Structure 1
Amino acid sequence: MSGDKKTPREIQDLAAVAEEDRVRADFYEFLAGLLVRPADTAMLRRLSALSGDDTDIGRAIEALAAVARSMSTTTVRREFNDLFIGLGRGELVPYASFYMTGFLNEKPLARLRQDMARHAVARAEAVFEPEDNIASLCEIMSGLIRGRFGAPLPLPAQREFFATHLAPWAAHFFSDLEAARASVFYAPVGTLGRLMIEIEREAFRLGGGTDP
């Protein structure tokens, strides 16, 4: 995904994003980076240096750091292929349309494309897979919070995007990723994703309105 070059006004808007929202954006971006392609040597090195704490997220980070220290890029690439690519299809199909309808390229993708156009989110030229991939959705959510595609999206609009495109299926996907037969490196990634979706769902619920 890509947005236009930021104007001075947009840079000013970005500086005004609350610290807790920058943390949210960073977490979504972190998940997107882990899910868009297999981790390379530099990423494994960075992950190996992470440390957590005595919280659910902290323990998942510790687990991810431990597997990053124990695995090679070749092993991670093989696991990524087994999970998401496979011979014809991987163990998991990380697309909103599939989880929500049982088929690819269905109405959830059409709704996403409409909302991407509404929020000035453009598909990256080098990306050919459907935009409702979990990595793309995490990247878009990060950009909407941070103001990558213009002014930072107000919380009610963030909540609407989350409720439409992530809440109906992402926690289910991340739970499947935790439990997948092929998951070793990606099991704690699944835990982190599931916890993030649960935290976001609860935060938006407490903010008022219908639970996403």
Structure 2
Amino acid sequence: MTAEQAQTETIAQDAAPAIPQDEDRLRADLYNFLGLMLSGPPDEMLLEQVAGLAGDDTDLGTAINALAKIARLTKPAAAEREFNKLFIGLGRGELLPYASYYLTGFLNEKPLASLRQDMAARGMTRAENVYEPEDNIASLMEMMGALIAGRFGSASPLSDQKQFYNKHIGPWAGHFFSDLEAAKNSVLYAAVGAVGRVFMDIEAEGFRMSAEQSA
């Protein structure tokens, strides 16, 4: 699974993209970062960028600092071997990072069909040369980041972000990131899993609080 295979190509609307607020920009950046790390093994440049990350004293900042520390000790060849064992393997990798699998136990099931309907409604489509199912974790992270940042025209309102998250990401992504964190072949990706797990908790709580405030 290469970066090109895992990423979902997007089609922009005619409207000019809205500029997200600082907090939303950071959210979009983190979603896009997770999508990038999960779409393919990081090269030397990306590892150097990850190694330069610095977090604060929050749970998320602590997880980011741990990831940066491991990235400084990781060579591209080692990251590629780890990625292949986790997601490719001989026949299949240690993990199957698809919503359909996590929610039904099988690939290409109803969660994928539902996602495709919601993608079409938001102007998203898979690139012609991509054969990876759209409900893989890398593409979903990219889609969520794009909705927040307004890559399809205007930035999606919080209510739409919440709907997409609760339907396609929230029910399973936290479980996946926990599995990634605990996978026997995870070293660098254990730290990626920790960042993803904490971030998913933050997002779920943020959406819950927004619902209470609007009630």
Q: TM-score range by the shorter chain?
A: over 0.9
1:169 aligned onto 2:172: yes
Q: Which amino acid aligns with 1:3?
A: T
Task: State which of 77, 84, 88 in structure 2 corresponds to 1:85.
Answer: 88
Residue matched to 1:4: 11
1:146 aligned onto 2:149: yes
Q: Gaps spanning 5+ residues in structure 2: where?
A: 1-7
CA distance, structure 2, for counterparts of residue 157 and residue 174 of structure 1: 23
Following superposition, the deviation at residue 19 of structure 1 comes to: 1.7
Residue matched to 2:102: 99
Following superposition, the deviation at residue 119 of structure 1 comes to: 0.4
CA distance, structure 2, for counterparts of residue 2 and residue 89 of structure 1: 25
Contact 1:2–1:149 (CA under 8 A) maintained in structure 2:
no
Greater shift, 187-196 or 46-55, is seen at 46-55
Q: Which amino acid aligns with 1:153?
A: S
Q: Which amino acid aligns with 2:10?
A: G
Contact 1:31–1:138 (CA under 8 A) maintained in structure 2:
yes
Task: State which of 197, 201, 206 in structure 2 corresponds to 1:198.
Answer: 201
Q: Gaps spanning 5+ residues in structure 1: where?
A: none
Greater shift, 146-155 or 136-145, is seen at 146-155
Q: TM-score, normalised by structure 1?
A: 0.93
- Secondary structure of 1:206's counterpart equals helix
CA distance, structure 2, for counterparts of residue 24 and residue 80 of structure 1: 24
4+ long deviations beyond 3 Å: 4-7
- Secondary structure of 1:207's counterpart equals helix
Q: Which amino acid aligns with 1:161?
A: F
TM-aligned CA distance change 1:58 to 1:199, over 3 Å = same
TM-aligned CA distance change 1:201 to 1:5, over 3 Å = closer
- Bigger relative CO (Cα 8 Å, ≥ 6 apart): 2
Q: Which amino acid aligns with 2:16?
A: E
Q: TM-score, normalised by structure 2?
A: 0.91
Following superposition, the deviation at residue 5 of structure 1 comes to: 4.8
CA distance, structure 2, for counterparts of residue 197 and residue 6 of structure 1: 28
Contact 1:105–1:130 (CA under 8 A) maintained in structure 2:
yes
The alignment of Structure 1 onto Structure 2 pairs a total of residues equal to 205
Q: Report the RMSD for the aligned CA atoms in angstroms.
A: 1.3
1:57 aligned onto 2:60: yes
Greater shift, 29-38 or 47-56, is seen at 47-56
Q: Percent identity?
A: 55
